Amino acid sequence: MKLKPGFVPALLTPIDANGNLDEASYRKQIEDMIQAGAVGLLSMGSMGQQAFIRPSTCVEVARVAIDAAAGRVPVFVGAMDVSICRAKERVAAMEDLDVAAFVFTAPYYSACKPHQVKNYLKGIAAATKHNIMVYDLPGVTQFKFTYDFVLNLRKEIPSLIGIKSADTQMFRKLTLNPEVPEDFIMVYSGLDTFDVAYKWGITNCLDGMLPLTPKNTEKMFKAMEANDYDTAATCLNNILYLRDTMAAHDLWPCASEAMNMMGYTGDHAPDLNDPIKPENVAVIRAAMEKVGEL
């Protein structure tokens, strides 16, 4: 499949007090992202709580995302786990859905060696009719997808259609390699340099901050498409300012509070987090107003 240039939001997953999906809130987020110009959706990435919510809820989240997208954009679904047998169970439970690709990090409980990650991905790929993508998240998984490793994976896994990473050097090499097809999806996740990467030709970008900043995200990508990189830089600076403000005041509960302020009900943070501190509510509201999202 060929992905259009533009952004792929890593959707946040709203959960109610009983641990179930807040479906109305999720559908609203998806509709707003599509209206803002999203060219694809990532359901249950790292910011989408895939590692924290019940497996049965994961299936419902994927089903609703695909139904809400209604074929307008492809939906990529995170199915990460720590073993082949567990990941195969996740995939099997969603096999009948119209998934553009299942997305996998390396197993994340303990650091893996390259041959273990290869065995893991080959085992999963053999168990599904759907395509797969890899999700380069070394800060969590303690494993780095390298250029050579990705090239070898492509040879051994025909259904591998792309990678999400913040590694610009790897993307440059993949882009320049004539053996890598043009439709191999490279989704850039280095938020701090989205505008620079886009100018270099890395035109698909993904991050969990994009659903938190729909107005700036839409304006930024329209500006980059029009080669207006001054406006794009201003929008990106707004997104980074909000991210850094939330990170300085406890990221997860602050992100959930920001989503609630925009009308997306539910808890968007893992249930092991403390509620947002009362004094931080005003901080987040002020930051959201400053960047023009409220």
pLDDT tens by residue, 240-266: 999 999 999 999 999 999 999 999 999
**Is residue 280 a part of any domain in this protein?**
no
pLDDT of residue 99: 98
**Is residue 127 a part of any domain in this protein?**
yes
**Is residue 170 a part of any domain in this protein?**
yes
**Is residue 233 a part of any domain in this protein?**
no
Q: How confident is the model at residue 167 (pLDDT cuts 50, 70, 90)?
A: very high
Residue 136: partners with Cβ closer than 8 Å, 6 or more residues away: 105, 144, 145, 163, 164, 165, 166, 167, 189
Residue 240: partners with Cβ closer than 8 Å, 6 or more residues away: 191, 192
Say if residue 142 is exposed, middle or buried (CB neighbours under 10 Å; 0-12, 13-18, 19+).
Answer: middle
pLDDT tens by residue, 115-164: 999 999 999 999 999 999 999 999 999 999 999 999 999 999 999 999 99
pLDDT tens by residue, 46-95: 999 999 999 999 999 999 999 999 999 999 999 999 999 999 999 999 99
Look at residue 102 and give its three-state secondary structure.
Answer: strand
Positive or negative, the CA dihedral 31, 34, 36, 38 is positive
Instruction: State the CATH number of the domain containing residue 136.
Output: 3.20.20.70
Total domains in the fold of the chain: 1
Domain residues for the domain of 200 are: 6-226
**Is residue 24 a part of any domain in this protein?**
yes
Give percent above pLDDT 70 in the chain: 100
**Is residue 293 a part of any domain in this protein?**
no
Give the number of other Cβ atoms within 10 Å of residue 101's Cβ.
24
**Is residue 79 a part of any domain in this protein?**
yes
**Is residue 286 a part of any domain in this protein?**
no
- Whether residue 31 contacts residue 195, with contact meaning beta carbons closer than 8 Å, is answered with no
